[in-house]
Structure 1
């Protein structure tokens, strides 16, 4: 369930940020900020659903998922294929996220 929450949060965050990018960098209508803001609010809410004893740990682990989702967005939406360095970096980040999420904790 945590993986699904992180994936949904990543899509919401990237979509929200992209809406602002479209408005500010591509010169599109200011109305792009309406769905962008809603998407960013959804992102923040979704991260509160992650079962974690600390917000910082949930956010840190999310970072690896965000990086992979950003590269998927790069390819699917922007039409730029990630290169081997992108893929290697994303794999390292996912490994780090797994250590943060799954590492044994002492009380």
Structure 2
């Protein structure tokens, strides 16, 4: 379970970075060269999703829970936005959903 959650967190970071770098270019005037590491990060994201042993739909569903938590942590750490009780509550619910889905892998 811990290994799966860590792999999901790494996957979420790859996706967020792959989307954040073009955002920097489009919205903040950063270098167009950021699109190269952005593309590499998104390719890494796709490859990481293939490393899970469950059916793709279950992987995507479970990954969504970790993505919510990771995106909010990114908002706090990178963007410097203080998270509300609502943010933390939603992240906890989403992450719990991921745990429930992963516990059922191999049992369905």
Q: 2 CA distance for matches of 1:56 and 1:25?
A: 33
2:98 maps to what in 1? 97
1:48 maps to what in 2? 50
Contact 1:9 1:46 (8 Å CA) reproduced: yes
Q: 2 CA distance for matches of 1:50 and 1:103?
A: 14
TM-score (ref. length: structure 1): 0.91
Correspondent of 2:4 among 2, 5, 8: 2
Per-residue deviation, 1:2: 1.2
Per-residue deviation, 1:66: 0.6
Task: Give the superposed CA RMSD.
Answer: 1.2
Q: 1 CA distance for matches of 2:100 and 2:17?
A: 27
Q: Pairwise mapping of residues 1-107 of structure 1 onto structure 2 (< 5 A)?
A: 1-52=3-54, 54-103=55-104, 105-106=107-108
- Number of residues paired by the alignment? 105
Contact 1:14 1:70 (8 Å CA) reproduced: yes
Query: Where does the alignment leave 5 or more consecutive residues of structure 2 unmatched?
Result: none
Per-residue deviation, 1:103: 2.7
Per-residue deviation, 1:95: 1.4
